[in-house]
Structure 1
C-alpha cells in the first residue's frame, strides 16, 4: 500500500466540491453541484482524480511512447474543462475551479471535503461492482467526508 502522503491533495476554502470522472453519473453530479453552488453563491470546485491508467492520452503523443506526467496532467485538465463546458455551457454563471490531481478518487475527494461546505458525488462512477447500491467512492465519501455529502442519481 502506498502511504497517503504520496498522493496529491485538494485544498479548498469553502464552496461546493464535485467529483467528475467523465461517467454519466458524475456528469449528473456536476449539474447538481453547479445548481447548488449557484444557490449558495459559492465557488464550484471540480475534482478530477486520475492515474496513468485512467488519464486520457495526449493526442500529440506518438504510439508506443509514454507521455510525461506533466503531459498527462495537462490533458486531464483540458479534458475536464471540455466536460464542464459541454455540460454547463461555455460561460457558466458561477465561478469554477478545476482540481486535476494524480490521486485515487476517494483520497482526493476526502481531502477536499475538509474545507468544503458540501461534497457532491454520483451514485456510480467508472469502476466498481454492479451489485452495489452505491459506488465504492460514494460510499467512502458518505462514511468519511468532513462535510455534508450529496449523492445524486439520474432520474429514471
Structure 2
C-alpha cells in the first residue's frame, strides 16, 4: 500500500546559487528520483540591514524588495542548475525569510524528510569559532537525517585561486598555452 506524501517525507535542499548548493540540488533531485518524493528547494534570506536593523526601522518597501530579490535568486539558481529543462521530479522552490540554519531545520520538519546541504567553503579557525557553519548547525539541530554534499572540484579550485594557492599553476598553464600557440 502506497503511503501519503507526508508519510514518505521529502528532500529539502538549501539553495543559495553557489556551486556547492547547486551540487547539493543535483544530489537532492537524484535522491528524490530514487525515492519518488518531492524536492523542496529553499533559499533563505534576511531583510536588508539584517533582522535587528529591520526591526528598528520597519520599511515595507525594503522588505518587499528583499523578498523579490530572494525569489529572483532562487529562480536563477534553479535555471542554472537545470538549464531551464525538465527535472523529472516534483520540484518546489521557496524563498523563506530567516537565518539559514534555523530556517532550513524548520523547513525539514516532516517525518521522513531528508535535509541536503552543500558542504560550503573552507573556513579558517576564527570564522568557525565565531560563526559556525550552516551544515554544522543543521546536523546538531535537525530532527531528520542531514546529508552534506562535498564541494565540487571546480569550487575547490576557485577557492584555492582566491587564497593565492594555485595561481602559480594557473599562470604556468597560461604560459604553456602561449608557447604552444607561438610554435
Q: Confirm or deny a common fold (TM above 0.5).
A: yes
Q: How does 1:31-110 map to 2 (within 5 A)?
A: 31-53=26-48, 67-90=61-84, 91-110=86-105
2:120 corresponds, among 96, 117, 124, to 124
**Alpha-carbon distance between aligned partners in 2 of 1:130 and 1:42, rounded to the nearest angstrom:** 37
Cα–Cα, structure 1 residues 72 and 109, in superposed 2: closer, same or farther, change >3 Å?
same
**Alpha-carbon distance between aligned partners in 1 of 2:36 and 2:29, rounded to the nearest angstrom:** 10
Give structure 1 stretches of 5+ with no counterpart: 1-11, 56-65
Which residue does the alignment assign to 1:151? 148
**Alpha-carbon distance between aligned partners in 1 of 2:29 and 2:49, rounded to the nearest angstrom:** 24
- After TM superposition, the score normalised by the length of structure 2 is 0.63
Which residue does the alignment assign to 2:23? 28
Secondary structure at the aligned position of 2:16 is classed as: coil
Q: CA RMSD in A?
A: 2.5
**Alpha-carbon distance between aligned partners in 2 of 1:54 and 1:16, rounded to the nearest angstrom:** 31
Matched residue count: 131
Secondary structure at the aligned position of 2:72 is classed as: helix
* Deviation at residue 150 of structure 1 after TM alignment: 0.6
2:109 corresponds, among 109, 114, 133, to 114
> Which has the bigger relative contact order, CA under 8 A and spacing at least 6?
1
Query: Can you list the C-alpha shifts for 1:90-147, whole angstroms capped at 9, x where unaligned?
Result: 222111111211100011111012115210011116xx83345xx6110011111111
**Contact preservation (8 Å) 2:48, 2:66:** no
1:136 corresponds, among 124, 130, 133, to 133
**Contact preservation (8 Å) 2:16, 2:73:** no
- After TM superposition, the score normalised by the length of structure 1 is 0.73
Give structure 2 stretches of 5+ with no counterpart: 51-59, 154-183
Q: Which has the higher helix share?
A: 2
Cα–Cα, structure 1 residues 107 and 93, in superposed 2: closer, same or farther, change >3 Å?
same
Q: Which of these two proteins has the greater Rg computed from alpha carbons?
A: 2
